[in-house]
Amino acid sequence: MQKAEFLKLLQDPEVCQAIADVIKNGGKPVKAESDGGTFASLRDRFRQSFSLTSEEPASPPAKAPTKPAPAKPAPPKAAAPAKPAPPPKAPEPAAPSLEIGGGLFGDKLKFLRSHVRQATAEREAQEQAESMKAPSEAPREQYTFILERPCPVCGQKTRVVKCKSRLNAESTDIDLCIHYKDANPYLYRVWACEHCGFAADEKKFLKPLPKKTQEKLQTFLSESNLALPFMAERTPEAALSYCEMAVLFSELADPSYNRRANLYLIMAWICRYEGDSAHERAALDKAAEFLDLSLEAESYPVDSMSDTTATYLAGAVHTLRQDYDKAVRHLSRLISDRSLQTSAPNVYHKARDLWQDIKKARQ
């Protein structure tokens, strides 16, 4: 937006009120009823990216249960976005091509580009509004801090937000999503470069990329304009958009099914914190799909995750999806391995408890 246009807008009392609301709201974007801006409509577009419609029934409860639902397995829902079972033999993960064109990938890229344009415009307006208030009023998020790290693609130092490690945990769901008292650290799990736009899970972001992959990503990013403006505080919608970016780069240049499953799991947890069960379910479906592929085709450990943990996670995610047959298949593998009682007792006991709960629920 040009400066003259912006100054003209400031003469409108409604606009001034909206800006005042942003300031009162700690610098976060104004809610959907007035802005029509960046993140207000992102949830709708996020829904589209998962091919969901607003008529679609929300299958799991708003808050994920820590135990499987006591009801009998639900019949398959006609409108549910669940994918068919993966093929018996998963293909070996191959380095994805960087070729881009039409189809689903092209749609996703188009969606992300338009999102970045809107985010940038909104951020510029927000920064101008913030510049009009006293510096002492600037909001500070006490659970996060900002640090600088080199981007593995462009090499420039970028600001990233990290959660403080000492957060008060209140409960843990069966898929290992931890609920914290006053914070949602999953909002900040994906790091993004404010210069080139590359985004990835923190662990992946900190690892150097193979030279060839780095060069291909540099070429792709230099032509794509995907850099989102830096945000010290993220709304759930903004965090989901960073996750979408990370999935895009995972599809482009990371053959690991496990890491892609983790990105979808983070999305599911962000939706769960928000009580958005329909999108949580869509993300869980994708996480389950990629965990199954990973366990069939990948060598473990992947990053720091063992195959025992990945198998348990697959069992837990299928339980939350009420696909009890697949859940039991994964969990049985764990509880039939007695050595886990000593090598991984926590996972063993969790798997056994979950397996017993499913058994009871199906009686």
Measured from the CB atom, the residue of 52 and 227 that comes closer to Zn ion is 227
- 188: DSSP letter: G
Minimum distance, C-beta of residue 197 to Zn ion, in the bound complex (Å): 7
Measured from the CB atom, the residue of 195 and 362 that comes closer to Zn ion is 195
Minimum distance, C-beta of residue 313 to Zn ion, in the bound complex (Å): 30
Measured from the CB atom, the residue of 209 and 261 that comes closer to Zn ion is 209
Angle at 20 between CA 14 and CA 24, to 5 degrees: 145
The tokens describing 212, both together, are: 């060839």
Minimum distance, C-beta of residue 253 to Zn ion, in the bound complex (Å): 13
- 305: DSSP letter: B
Residue 157 contacts by C-beta under 8 Å, 6 or more apart in sequence? 148, 149, 150, 151
Minimum distance, C-beta of residue 201 to Zn ion, in the bound complex (Å): 15
Residue 42 contacts by C-beta under 8 Å, 6 or more apart in sequence? 115, 237, 238, 240, 241
Minimum distance, C-beta of residue 220 to Zn ion, in the bound complex (Å): 12
The tokens describing 39, both together, are: 């993140």
- Candidates 209, 208, 205; CA nearest to 192 is 205
Measured from the CB atom, the residue of 153 and 282 that comes closer to Zn ion is 153
Measured from the CB atom, the residue of 193 and 347 that comes closer to Zn ion is 193
Measured from the CB atom, the residue of 38 and 214 that comes closer to Zn ion is 214
Minimum distance, C-beta of residue 202 to Zn ion, in the bound complex (Å): 15
Measured from the CB atom, the residue of 247 and 278 that comes closer to Zn ion is 247
- Candidates 271, 265, 147, 260; CA nearest to 204 is 260
- Candidates 11, 46, 8; CA nearest to 238 is 46
Binding residues (CB under 5 A) for Zn ion: these are: 151, 153-154, 193, 195-196, 198
The beta strand positions in the chain, using DSSP E, are: 144-150, 157-163, 169-172, 178-180, 190-192, 199-201
3-state secondary structure 203-270: HHHHCCCCHHHHHHHHHHHHCCCCCCCCCCCCCHHHHHHHHHHHHHHHHHHCCCHHHHHHHHHHHHHH
Minimum distance, C-beta of residue 212 to Zn ion, in the bound complex (Å): 17
